[in-house]
Amino acid sequence: MNGKYYWIGILLTVAALVATIVAYPYLPTSVATHWNAHNQPNGYSPKWALFLFGPGMMGAGMLLMYVLPWLSPKNFELNNFRSTYLQIMVILICLLGYFYALMLWAALEHSANVGNAIIGGVCLLFALLGNLLGKVRRNFFIGIRTPWALANERVWNATHRLAAKTFVIGGVLGLGMTLVRGNGTPVLAVLLTAAFVPVAYSLFFYKKLEQRGELQG
C-alpha cells in the first residue's frame, strides 16, 4: 500500500528527466540557477547541471528518505508513522519538482517572477506540512526536533499539535501576502514566526512539566 508513494516520487523524477532531455537542445550554454531578492539571476551553471538540480536532487531526496527509516535508532522509529512519513516525502519531492520547473522555464527564456514563485511554493509547503505535523511521532529527522520535544513524548505531541496550526496559518497567510503584495521580506517573517512559536513552546511546556514533576509520564 505504501509503495504507491514511492511510485509517485519515481514518476515525478522521471518526468523531470524527460523534460530536461526534451528541452536540452533549446537551452543556452549557461543557465540561471540562483536568483537574488530582487528576482535577478545572480548565479549561473552550465546547462548540463540541470540534470543535477532537477532529476538528480529529486532522486537523491527519495533515496535519502528511503534510507532514513533504517538509520533511525530504537524507540524513535520512522515506521511508527510510516504513511505520514511517506506523504511528507511526496510533498518534498513535489516541491523540488516545482522549483526545478521554474528553473527550467526560466532557462528556456520565458519571463517569470522566479523569486515570488519560490516563496509561494515555500508557503504552500508550510501549509501542507502543517496538515501532517500532528501525526508525526518522536524521531530525529522529521518535525520540530528541539531537545525538550525529543526528551519527552508529551512535549513532542503538544509541540506538534501547535506546529500543525502555526504552519497552516503561516503558510496560508504567507501565500496570500505573496499573491497580493509580492514582497518576500514580510512573508519570510511570517514563516519564521510560524516555525519559531512551536520551538519556544516546546521549552515552555517542558519546564512546566518539570516544575510539576510530570516529566516521567
Give the C-alpha separation, 70 to 55, whole Å.
Answer: 24
| 3 state SS of 31 | strand
What are the start-end ranges of the H helices in 108-141? Answer: 114-133
pLDDT digits (tens, 9 = 90+) for 15-32: 999 999 999 999 999 988
pLDDT band of residue 197 (cuts 50, 70, 90) is very high
In contact, 205 and 158? CB cutoff 8 Å: yes
Q: Is the pLDDT of residue 85 over 80?
A: yes
Q: Is the pLDDT of residue 64 over 70?
A: yes
Average pLDDT of the segment spanning 202-207: 96
Contacts of 105 (CB under 8 A, 6+ apart): 112
pTM: 0.90
